[in-house]
Structures are given as C-alpha cells and as structure tokens.
Structure 1
Amino acid sequence: MNAALEASTRDRILDAALDLFATQGYAGASMRQLAAAVGMRASSLYNHFDGKAAILSALIDAYGPARGASRLASPAYRALADDPEAFCRRYAADWLDQWCDPNERRFMDLLSAEPSRMAEHRAHFVETLFDREVVAMADYFRRFTLAGRIHAPDPTECARLFMAGLTFVRLQHLLMPPEPSPREVIGEALDRAVRNFLMLVAPRGAAAA
C-alpha cells in the first residue's frame, strides 16, 4: 500500500475510534463497529492495527504527552534553544492550541472514563509524560542554565515546576469547571504563569538590574 494512503487510512481509523470510544466507551466499542464507521471490513482493520488496545495506544501517542515531546524535538523549538522566554511562551501557546482542540478534550474524557479497564493505557500515558516530555524539557532548561540565561540548579525539577504551573491553569479553566473558560481567559492565565516562572528562574541579580 502507498505510504501516503496508509497514513491517511490510519488517521481515518483513529478519528473514527476517538468518536466511537467517546460515545460508546472503550469497553463498549467493538472492532466491527469501528470498521463500519470507517467503511471497511473488520478484518481489514487488522492490516493497520493489531487490535483495539493498539488503537488506543496510538490515540495516546496522537493526543497525549508524546505530541508535546515530538514538538520539543522539532526545528521550531530547537531554534529557541538560547531564548528561554520565547521558548516558554511558544510552549504555552502550543499547549493552549492543543487543549482547545475538541478531539483533545474528548480524548481526556475517554482517558478518565474507565480507569479500571484502561490501567495499562493510563500507565503508557504517564510513562510517555515522564520519560519523554519532562526529560526533553529538562534538557532545554539545562542548556539555558549553562548559557547563564536562567538559574536552575536542578533542570529536571525546573521543568516539572514549569509544566506543573501550566497544568494547574488547565485544571482550573478546562478540566475542573462545568464549562471551560473562554480561550482568551485561559491565554491570560497562561501568560501570568509564564511571566511568574521566568521571574523565579531569572539569573541571580537580573531581577534587580
């Protein structure tokens, strides 16, 4: 099969799976239902995925922390390796775009809907977050520190602090309230979080200068 066609078919399967899992639940959805939604035979699905569990793992990679980790490895981020302020602002802006994606919201609902049935996949989500995204973020903060651009004695904890601040904004404005806050309100909250973080990690003496 042509590589582009293969990728397109996988994307269609994942889009349909996200819809089906969100409405039927992961446990309640069947491969036969998914095949019907995509418009193919159930047996043909196995040419692209080993089964329902493999599809869910692919959704985690598409909408979970692997998405952020892949961004951090992109040329756009590498170009900001000597500019911590631009880096942090770009990261927050990309997270905002991701959080406001309707598919991302449905994915997060799915991830928390059936914790007992999805423990293995939740573990994959957590492993991806801490083994990839935090490590990649810490590498940037290590470079910033070595260049004297920030003060971060422990780059890993610095990365966790930065990401935790943004995650708290997400909890307050998107995940916890009955209705999400308007995008501009979330953007302002993220801007405050980034500004405060940058002041906390500014090189010693810079704030007073």
Structure 2
Amino acid sequence: MLRAAHAEEAAHNPLIPALPDLLWGAVCFAIILALFWWKVLPAVKKLLDERAAKIEGGIERAEQAQREAAAALDKYNAQLAEARAEAARIREQAREDGKRILVEMREQAQAEAARITAHAQAQIEAERQAAVTSLRSEVGSLAIDLASGVVGESLTDDRRARALVDRFLAELEAEGDGARTAGARTRA
C-alpha cells in the first residue's frame, strides 16, 4: 500500500492541480474577475479619466497662460517701442527748443548790443555837440579877447563878434573836412 500510494504520488504531477482545486480556483477567479470588472475597473477608469481631464485642463490652462503671456509681451514690446518713440520725439523737441532759445537769445543779445551801441553813439554825439558848443563859445571868447588886444579896442557888439567867430570856425571846419577827405583818398 505504501507502494501503491507512493506509485500514485509518483504518477501524479505536482504542477498540475487536482480537478476540485481547479474548479474552485476557476470559480474564485470568475468572482474576482467579475468584481474587478464591475467595481474596480470603472473606479480606476473614472480616476484615470479625471486625471486625464485635469492634465488636459492643465495643458489648456498652460497654453492659455502662454497665449496671455505672449500677448502681454507683445503689448509690453509695443508700449516700449512707443515709449522709445516718445522719448525720441521729446529729445528732438528739446533740441529744437534749445536751438530756438539760442536763436532768440542771440537776437535779444544783438538787439541789446545794437540798443547799447545806439545809446552810446547818441551819448557820444551829444557830448561831442556839447564839447563843440563849449569850444565854440570859448574859442569865440578867446578870439574876441585876442582881437580886442590886437586891435586895441573893445569888441563889445556881441552879434557882430559872434558872426565873425562863427565865420572863422566854419572856415576852419571846411579846411579840416577837406584835409580829412584828401587823407582818406590817399590811404585808399
């Protein structure tokens, strides 16, 4: 018997299960497969779908954010270009204003110089006229005194004496103008 059990055991392959074990294993496998198919698989599929939706939503949000960032960058670049153009316009306007101010200041300086020169010339002419008048009266008085001393009598007729002095001074001026004109011709 021992031999028969041993022979039966030797004939039986340990890798192949017995028929009842195979039957119970198949039933358990079918129950687990059904549970997995109806309960676990839909839950996993739902979880994977949610995850895929989140990923796709995240990708869409990232693409939207990227589009917004690109739009903001374009807007920033446009504003920067506009600011640069405005700065260039302001610099050009400042240059033009500076040139205009320089021209105005030159004109004002020239006008002021011309006014000062005219005033100085007028003052010089007035002083010259005063000096000429003063010299005429002094030369006239000296000439009358000298003539009185030469003639030996007093020349008290003021009108006649003045006419004589004026004629003498006019002759002197005419000789002086003639000499100046001749000198100017010689230099030229």
Give the TM-score normalised by the residue count of structure 2.
0.29
Q: Of Structure 1 and Structure 2, which has the larger fraction of its residues in helix?
A: 2
Larger radius of gyration: 2
Give the TM-score normalised by the residue count of structure 1.
0.26
